[in-house]
Chain A
Amino acid sequence: MRKEEFVQELSKRLARLGWPTAQIERTAREVSDHWEDLENEGREQGLIPDAIARFATERIGNLESLVGLHDESMRKAHWCGRHPVVSFVLLPPIALLVWFLGWGAMAAAAGELYGKLLGLQHPFWSSFVLVLITAKAIEYTGLFSIAALF
């Protein structure tokens, strides 16, 4: 494989993994520089052009392994990548529940205060909370339905 092909393929694969452009460019530049150094080393050893290309390809390593290692290092660098089950399976429903409870608590407090200010005897807030939670449920059901389309 030639340097350009290798670097282009590496960049393409990293882009497919969702890497930021700046990070892809940096990696491509470093690997490309390394490749050039290997070619120079091959030339110093007196290799012919074809052998130089083979020498560099051999030394730089397998493209699949390299993409895998880059991806692993990127994932390991973030908390979400190190704990995918917690981040993407356990935390979202807990966060949603906390979100609803937070809204519920705020609505209850507001309803209670409003009821007291108006001098209402009836537990006015309960109906207020119910309406609010229903509205939120409809809102989120709508959001999830749109997300499910994709």
Chain B
Amino acid sequence: MNKTNPEFLNGVPELLVLQLLARREMYGYELVKEILVRSKAQFRFGEGCIYPCLHWLEKQRLLTSRQVEAGGRSRLYYRLTPRGRKRLESLAAEWNRVAEGVGLILGAQHA
């Protein structure tokens, strides 16, 4: 059984979820599939852990949700709010800064 990947919980899920929902609204399963496909399955995590993350982001008013009936099923779709978009910009900038720093150190070691 998949255990929750600790790395997946330290700010990364927030960034990934916000980034993917910035493109279009999605429901939980769809979002997980998108993460796995786009990352080429680099992350291993219990898929249920997407929901605490989504609920928390919604409570922070970074996301909003709406119920959609489709194909005889009712889905809860999440989308980014303007506040979420701002948070995404700041998180992405922070991530790029860290990645650049780490890249410089790794590059220096390999040179």
Contacts and interface: CB of A to CB of B under 8 A. Distances in A.
Please say whether chains A and B are actual partners in one complex. Answer: yes
Interface in A13-72: 23, 26-27, 29-31, 33-34, 36-38, 57-62, 65-66, 69-70, 72
Contacts of A38: 29, 47
A23 B65 CA distance: 14
B96 interface: no
A76 B76 CA distance: 22
A85 interface: no
Contact of A33 (B28, B52, B59): B28
30 contacts: A27-B51, A27-B55, A29-B74, A30-B28, A33-B27, A33-B28, A33-B73, A34-B28, A34-B51, A36-B73, A37-B29, A38-B47, A57-B1, A58-B1, A58-B2, A61-B3, A61-B4, A61-B45, A62-B2, A62-B4, A66-B49, A66-B52, A69-B9, A70-B51, A70-B52, A73-B52, A73-B53, A74-B55, A76-B56, A77-B60
Interface residues of A, number: 26
B3 A60 contact: no
Categorize the interface residue count of chain B.
Answer: 20 to 34
Interface of A: 23, 26-27, 29-31, 33-34, 36-38, 57-62, 65-66, 69-70, 72-74, 76-77
SS of A interface (majority): helix
Interface string B36-78: 0000000001111101110110011000000000000111100
Contacts of B3: 61-62, 65
B47 A30 contact: no
Given A33-B73, A73-B56, A61 B29 contact: no
B73 to A, nearest CB: 7
Contact of A61 (B9, B48, B56, B75): B48
Nearest to B56: A73
Contacts of B48: 31, 34, 60-61, 66
A114 B87 CA distance: 58
A111 B58 CA distance: 52
A65 B9 CA distance: 12
